[in-house]
A and B are shown apart, each in its own frame.
Chain A
Amino acid sequence: MQQPLIFDIKRYAINDGPGIRITIFFKGCPLSCTWCHNPESISAKPQKMYNKSKCIGCGECVKACPNQACTLSSDGIITDPKHCNLSGKCAEVCPTLATEISGYYQTIPELLKIIEKERPLFDQSGGGVTFSGGEPLLYPDYLSEILDLCDEGKIHRTIDTCGFVKTDILLGIAKQTDLFLYDLKLLDSDKHKAYTGVSNELILSNLVALAESGANIQVRIPLIKGVNSDLKNIAATASFITKLAGEKKSVNLLPYHAIATHKYQKLGANYLADNLQEPDDMNLRQAIDCFTAHNLLTIVGG
């Protein structure tokens, strides 16, 4: 079984499905969206993250590194990727958590124990667990096992997916899932490829197949001005969703926030999305009107 790395667990998650939830973030994603809020979620491998504003310049990591990969400069710690083998010694000694290794393994019983801690909130709110990422469906065996255990414990299961996975895997997992949050970014395949790194045919056909299988689906659309907020894309998206089989789908519009840039800095990566814009009120209004006109229940946020 391929073990996923987990990069975050959020308790009191209120935007990732019904009720109060716990969201498990798996590391690794087949897409690499320009606007990604969680850039550490893209690589399936552990990554070193460094937050300069927290660093007190004590130099302990320089001493601790077995490969002499760290140097203390006037601009904080510089890590030489050629020498760094992600031993994690730097993070171990870092007193301020300025240096952290993103991604850790969690056994299924341990993860279940963490999820179980939230049970009083699930009971009160009708919440449950949400598997997100990254792309949780990259780890179907692990996912399948934990989904079954959650079901035994009567815990509501939501999967947040980008849809770019093998169809049989998706449909297999669908039998063990109570709700899908299915991301739909762009209907134009070329544009999709340009912004996310992959074309969208598989994503669209998977959505059709998933709907036909009777799965419960909410469609999530990150709304980004200059990328997908134009009426043409919105209308095409709305029309596509309307044609899906099964019960009427609801749509979550997630207005883009230019707020994740520092995570790129922490990874030492460049933020390529400087030209992206937050949707203005008119963009949002237009989108809501269009989806509503297609008889789709439209919610802004979660």
Chain B
Amino acid sequence: MESSKNIKPLPERGSACEGNFYPETNSGSDPGMNLRIQQLRKLSVNAGHTLSIERALHETTFYKENYGKHSIPVLRALNFLDHCKKKTLYLGDDELIVGERGPQPKAVPTFPELTCHSIDDLHILNTRDQQRYTISQKDIDTYAKEVIPYWQGKTIRERIFSHVPQEWQAAYAAGLFTEFMEQRAPGHTALDGKIYRIGMLDFKKQIATEMTALDYLNDPEATDKAEELKAMDISCDAVIVFAERHAELADKLAGQENNPQRIADLKKIAETCRWVPANAPRTFHEAIQMYWFVHLGTITELNGWDAMNPGHFDQHLAPFYEAEIAAGTLTREEAKELLCCFWIKVNNHPAPPKVGITARESGTYNDFTNINIGGITSDGKNGVSEVSYIMLEVVEELHILQPGNSVHISSKTPDRFLHAACKVIRQGHGYPSLFNPDTYVVELMRQGKSLRDAREGGCSGCIEVGAFGKEAYILTGYLNVPKILEITLNNGIDPVSGKMVGIKTGNPLEFKNYEELYTAFNKQLNFIIDTKIRVSNYIDRMFAKYAPAPFLSVVIEDCISKGKDYYDGGPRYNTNYIQCTGLGTVTDSLSTLKKHVFEDQTFSMKQILDAVAKNFAGEEFLRQTIINKTPFFGNDDDNADDIALQIYQDLLTAIDGKPNIKGESFHLNMLSTTCHIYFGKVTGATPNGRFAGKSISDGTSPSHGADTHGPSAVIRSLTKLDHTMSGGTLLNQRFLPSLLKRDEDIAKLGQLVRSYFTLGGHHIQFNIVDTATLHAAQENPEDYKDLLVRMAGYSDYFNDMNADLQQEVIERTENEAF
């Protein structure tokens, strides 16, 4: 790059997609394509997570002065505008893409209107071992004095908990499900391409047109719509002001700067912030900054669950890239540098801290921004561009926690792209994950999306899909399906607490056959799901009325034309999801009872239930027999897979199509994120031989280590489920590096993915096993029964090897010398 004299570039290298990787340790510096990126990355990675009370202070002052003077949407918008005018800005050295939600990287605001942290909460956050957010005693004192007294009793969270019925409370406390919205606003939003075509000033014009067209004589909702539209208009001003303040700051810093290169950077930043988001972007740089301001706006306005996603970011940026490359105003390196800056910006924004059960089930800083790479365009063409390849390089080089990333492999996606993605997977960072548009387009259309809108959809966050820019898809919480079996086997009682949390479905010792057992399970399942949906609908309405999101509504299709908020049915599509977790664990448990109690009579129901009740103490023969001699899900064995199929079908029947408050419906997906760990902790031992407290299976993956017939058996088991009936399934697969040694092996990994997707799979993710995992496998062999060591002419299970040979494999893995 000609413009980077003060930057020491790394030795020249080909692109990652051509297979030219270098290990981090060999670069002699932090990862990153040049000094700027190295420094920005280092700052981001090393920054401590802190709590900022600034937003809460602004908001509390604003509410004290203004509450009651305006409609709720207008109050919310004015509150947002007030904060954008006052908030401390951050513009760091080396930055090209600017703007932070907090006063510095990884400083996270609180949202007391939703959940007001107590003094105890703040102390815990400040001192706990994991996911710590530090805060000074002075700030805690201020919070105690200024913020907490005002919000006490008024937060959405307190109002929810004062309302919900007893049976919900009992089931929730037992860990049968979680509730996303009890302390964060419904989120999971991804954008389409409109913000690259029109700016905030254009949105304001659209809003003005709709205001003029309101029919106060015939439309009973006209007044409400007027207030919502007014709020949207104010929130457009808020982000324009926010950007303008950055322009002023950049100009000021340029005046104090001596380095001519940095002065030029700062002037460019000022110019960019004066143009976007007010106007549609004209350049690659402006396009990225445009998205970033919109992103910041939505996550500052409210604490939406799981941040915000740019959707098909490569497809949105490709026209700018191609035009500028052709015009000679941008080089590939400059484009990549800007993308690196963006990536690091996302990494600067951890999830706001949670409290209570929600903190237990979501133990991560990740706020789940997921960049969709590749896939298909809204008119059904291959969406891969040079920008997609650059993004893969950025992913591979930076390897930071956020943003997440996924590659989308349709039948139209070139093998070259799949291969490049598999090479990044080979690096063993656990990403990118792979998605199948050919399946999820059908999923979305089955739910009623148009073909075009479905094609523009993709994944936001983990594995759930939606119509980008046009849908509110509210994830309402996880369902602990194995726990439902646990209470079935205790006639509705939670054996962990001894409390009644379900309904009476009969004494399991009196079940005469498997069908009676299954029927009882299905009754509990329906009861728990109905209990959850009832409260989710109530919470949904609370947000629609008391915590609307006018800024988010501006950028989601049809909110302006309907004059309705994102949370109030404004978007073109409005879906609610329940995420079902632990299919593998519950299938294997039912399979155990079916085979050993009802078919072979190896053990009686009483024997197994007694063993489960005492967490298998002294029952190693029984437990080992179950683990090793039961058909388990993930081995292409119909004896187990048919059970999984029936559970999946009954989950669908119980959830799919249940009405939500917006005249649309609930659907299921099979997501777990990190919740399978929390659910495992609150679930006693299960009949499949799993000990109490251990994780349940994730997503639709087989139970840990239960899949002993290799990946082809796993994908066949998984695709016996009709993925198009869900809003997403999840499959994690472990691979030893020895399976991915040669280029040819990497191609075969791609072919495995193609096979899975041809069979209708929705998502697959590969974790390349490292030596730490192998050590863990030595400690807990049962959880790693699937680890297969392969070389030409020889293969064996890692667990079957003696300690010396395991050590040998570990050393080979370390040296990647298979």
Contacts and interface: CB of A to CB of B under 8 A. Distances in A.
Q: Do they bind each other?
A: yes
Interface of A: 10-12, 14-16, 19-20, 22, 37-38, 51, 53-54, 56, 58, 60, 95-97, 117-118, 120-121, 123-125, 132, 220, 222, 252, 254, 257-263, 265, 301-302
24 contacts: A12-B710, A14-B739, A14-B744, A15-B791, A15-B792, A20-B748, A20-B751, A38-B793, A38-B794, A51-B800, A53-B802, A56-B624, A58-B621, A60-B621, A120-B715, A123-B755, A124-B758, A132-B793, A220-B792, A257-B794, A259-B805, A262-B805, A301-B742, A302-B744
A136 B141 CA distance: 79
Given A10-B710, A14-B739, A263 B796 contact: yes
Given A58-B620, A95-B625, A262-B802, A252 B751 contact: no
Contact of B755 (A54, A124, A263, A302): A124
A301 B744 CA distance: 11
Interface in B501-525: none
A9 B751 CA distance: 20
Given A120-B759, A121-B755, A259-B808, A301 B741 contact: yes
A38 B709 CA distance: 19
Contact of B636 (A117, A258, A301): A117
Interface string B776-818: 0000000000000111111110011111010011000000000
B792 A54 contact: no
Given A19-B751, A54-B800, A257-B794, A118 B712 contact: yes
B712 A11 contact: yes
Contacts of A301: 741-742, 791-792
Question: For this complex, into which size category does the number of interface residues on chain B fall?
Answer: 35 or more
Contacts of A19: 748, 751
Given A11-B713, A54-B800, A117-B716, A125 B621 contact: no
B711 interface: yes
Given A14-B739, A260-B796, A262-B802, 16 more contacts: A11-B711, A14-B745, A15-B793, A20-B755, A22-B712, A37-B793, A60-B621, A118-B712, A121-B752, A123-B755, A124-B758, A252-B792, A258-B808, A261-B805, A263-B796, A301-B791
Nearest 7 Cβ contacts at the A-B interface: A95-B624, A37-B794, A125-B751, A95-B625, A15-B792, A12-B710, A124-B751
Contact of B793 (A53, A123, A222, A265): A222
B621 A302 contact: no
Contacts of A220: 792
B58 interface: no
A96 B758 CA distance: 36
A56 B621 contact: yes
A83 B801 CA distance: 28
Contacts of A97: 628
A12 B735 CA distance: 12
Contacts of A95: 620-625, 628-629
A53 B798 CA distance: 12
A252 to B, nearest CB: 7
A31 to B, nearest CB: 13
B87 interface: no
A120 B717 CA distance: 13
Given A121-B751, A262-B801, A257 B791 contact: yes
Contacts of A60: 621
A128 to B, nearest CB: 13
A228 to B, nearest CB: 15
A81 B713 CA distance: 36
B793 A254 contact: yes
A12 B712 contact: yes
A260 B800 CA distance: 11
Given A95-B625, A120-B755, A121-B755, A262 B793 contact: no
B360 interface: no
B254 to A, nearest CB: 55
Contacts of B745: 14
A222 B808 CA distance: 20
Interface of B: 620-625, 628-629, 636, 709-713, 715-716, 739, 741-742, 744-745, 748, 751-752, 754-755, 758-759, 789-796, 799-803, 805, 808-809
Contacts of A125: 748, 751, 755
A258 B748 CA distance: 27
A260 B713 contact: no
B324 to A, nearest CB: 37
Contacts of A20: 712, 748, 751-752, 755
A14 B748 contact: yes
Nearest to A132: B793
A276 B61 CA distance: 80
A96 B800 CA distance: 11
Contacts of B792: 15-16, 220, 252, 254, 301-302
Contact of A265 (B713, B744, B802): B802
A10 B624 contact: no
A139 to B, nearest CB: 19
Nearest to B624: A95
A10 B748 contact: no
Nearest to B716: A117
A206 B748 CA distance: 33
Contacts of B624: 56, 95-96
B621 to A, nearest CB: 5
Contacts of A258: 808
Contacts of A38: 793-794
A54 B799 CA distance: 9
Q: Which of B754, B759, B794 has the most CB of A within 10 A?
A: B794
Contact of B794 (A14, A22, A96, A259): A259
Contacts of B751: 19-20, 121, 124-125
Contacts of B791: 15, 254, 257, 259, 301
Nearest to A15: B792
Contacts of A56: 620-621, 624
A201 to B, nearest CB: 24
Contacts of B758: 120, 123-124
Contact of A12 (B752, B754, B789): B752
Contacts of B796: 260, 263
A123 B751 CA distance: 9
Contacts of A37: 793-794
A37 B791 CA distance: 10
B400 to A, nearest CB: 32
Contacts of B800: 51, 54, 262
A97 B748 CA distance: 31
Contacts of B805: 259, 261-262
B274 to A, nearest CB: 51
Contacts of B755: 20, 120-121, 123-125
A16 B744 CA distance: 13
Contacts of A121: 712, 751-752, 755
Contacts of B623: 95
Contacts of B716: 117, 120
A58 to B, nearest CB: 5
Nearest to B708: A97
A236 B742 CA distance: 28
B808 A11 contact: no
B628 A96 contact: yes
A123 B757 CA distance: 13
